[in-house]
């Protein structure tokens, strides 16, 4: 396994991060336990979850993934072996999440943290992330930003950072990060942190894969210069970058078979790009899944690649991607395909 520092801290995290959002929906607790055992045994010390998991979001399964992880901590007594990251929901219409609406105000974010600590059966969280901004920006499937003059009543960044500082001083969280954030959002948080001597955002958890390299446009430079690295989610594009959905195939129990509303990677150019990347992997006799993951891992702005698996076989393939090498020839071919089909699935 490979390791990198989380931000400018002394905390070493594996460059493969165990994603958990299927536990409680596609995976049982027993299967989640098996994945945690296997991942830790193979050097994966960094796990990511969120209060809203499992996915798809349902009231009946809200918080279930955190509960499963907490039960594993309780059973194995290995909490100290794991760097655990979780997230507080931003703006939501779901009333079962503290009545809906904004969640980064002092009262609600405090409630959210206490609820996550309880479900995780721990007294501290290593990385606490803001899961989607409260303001309207950066939605799935959109390249551009549409400004709304009336969208201005979200919680001020300074107030959010003050709450997070209080949690750090209380020993309830160690470090903080963002998720689904823009270059403007990250830069403002970093600016306020420096000006007001408040905690720094150590990471940004955004989508990044061969079909969506938009992170490179503005956020990559900030990540490198400010040491606020990317935690890439959806590195396999809902499984499309494994090749299992080629030729309109829909394997039983796969995400696209179960949840047909997940259309983010179904557009025409996306499918054409997938086929080109697949042919490239065949040309160089490299596993398509591992090529897709390794491309993410080696980016200079990357801290860790969040993998999600529903079987141990998938998990094994994903973890072993750290042992793959991509030659300059392969990388040049990847970039040629990117130029043919630039970021087809934002």
Q: What is the pLDDT of residue 247?
A: 73
pLDDT digits (tens, 9 = 90+) for 237-284: 998 999 887 877 766 666 666 666 666 788 899 999 999 999 999 999
Question: Is 53 one of the annotated active-site residues of the chain?
Answer: yes
The domain 3-237+290-326 having CATH identifier 3.20.20.100: the answer here is yes
Q: What is the pLDDT of residue 254?
A: 66
CA distances from 200 to 123, 162, 220 (A): 21, 11, 17
Spot the catalytic one: 3, 53, 124, 128: 53
Q: What is the pLDDT of residue 244?
A: 83
Task: Among 97-101, 226-230, 328-332, 334-338, name the one with the lowest average pLDDT.
Answer: 97-101
Cα angle, residue 48 at apex, residues 252 and 141 outer, rounded to 5°: 65
Q: What is the pLDDT of residue 136?
A: 84
This prediction's pTM: 0.95
pLDDT digits (tens, 9 = 90+) for 283-314: 999 999 999 999 999 999 999 999 999 999 99
pLDDT digits (tens, 9 = 90+) for 54-91: 999 999 999 999 999 999 999 999 999 999 999 999 99
pLDDT digits (tens, 9 = 90+) for 179-221: 999 999 999 999 999 999 999 999 999 999 999 999 999 999 9
Q: What is the pLDDT of residue 87?
A: 98
> Is a pLDDT exceeding 80 seen at residue 142?
no
Q: What is the pLDDT of residue 258?
A: 63
pLDDT tier at 138 (50, 70, 90 boundaries)? low
Q: What is the pLDDT of residue 249?
A: 72
What mean pLDDT do residues 34-40 have?
98
Average pLDDT taken over every residue of the chain: 94
CA dist., res. 331 & res. 286, Å (int): 13
Q: What is the pLDDT of residue 226?
A: 98
- Percent of the chain surpassing pLDDT 90: 86
Task: Among 115-129, 137-151, 307-321, name the one with the lowest average pLDDT.
Answer: 137-151
CA dist., res. 345 & res. 236, Å (int): 12
- What are the structural domain ranges in the chain? 3-237+290-326
């Amino acid at each position: 396994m490979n390791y990198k520092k989380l931000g400018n801290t002394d905390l070493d995290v594996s460059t493969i991060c165990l994603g958990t959002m299927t536990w409680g929906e596609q995976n049982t607790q027993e299967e989640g336990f098996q994945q945690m055992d296997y991942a830790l045994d193979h050097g994966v010390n960094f796990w990511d979850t969120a209060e809203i998991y499992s996915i798809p979001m349902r009231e009946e399964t809200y918080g279930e993934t955190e509960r499963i992880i907490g039960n594993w901590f309780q059973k194995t007594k290995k909490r100290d072996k794991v760097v655990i990251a979780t997230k507080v929901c931003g703006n939501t219409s779901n009333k079962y999440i503290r009545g809906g609406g904004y969640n980064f105000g002092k009262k609600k974010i405090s409630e959210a943290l206490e609820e996550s600590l309880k479900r995780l059966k721990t007294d501290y969280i290593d990385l606490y992330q803001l899961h989607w901004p409260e303001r309207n920006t950066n939605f799935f499937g959109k390249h551009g930003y549409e400004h709304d003059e009336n969208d201005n009543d979200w919680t001020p960044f300074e107030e959010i950072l003050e709450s997070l500082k209080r949690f750090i001083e209380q020993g309830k969280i160690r470090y903080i990060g963002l998720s689904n954030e823009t270059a403007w959002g990250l830069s403002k948080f970093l600016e306020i942190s420096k000006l007001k001597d408040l905690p720094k955002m150590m990471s940004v958890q955004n989508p990044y894969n061969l079909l969506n390299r938009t992170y490179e446009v503005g956020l990559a430079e900030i990540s490198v210069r400010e040491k606020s690295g990317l935690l890439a989610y959806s590195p396999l594009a809902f499984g499309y970058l494994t090749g299992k959905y080629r030729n309109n195939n829909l394997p039983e129990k796969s995400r696209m078979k179960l949840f047909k509303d997940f259309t983010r990677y179904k557009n025409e150019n996306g499918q054409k790009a997938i086929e080109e990347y697949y042919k490239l992997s065949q040309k160089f006799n490299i596993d398509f899944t591992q090529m897709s993951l390794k491309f993410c891992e080696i980016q200079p702005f990357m801290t860790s690649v969040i993998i999600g698996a529903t079987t141990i076989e998938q998990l094994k393939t994903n973890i072993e991607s750290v042992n793959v090498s991509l030659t300059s020839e392969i990388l040049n071919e990847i970039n040629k395909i990117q130029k043919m089909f630039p970021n087809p699935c934002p």
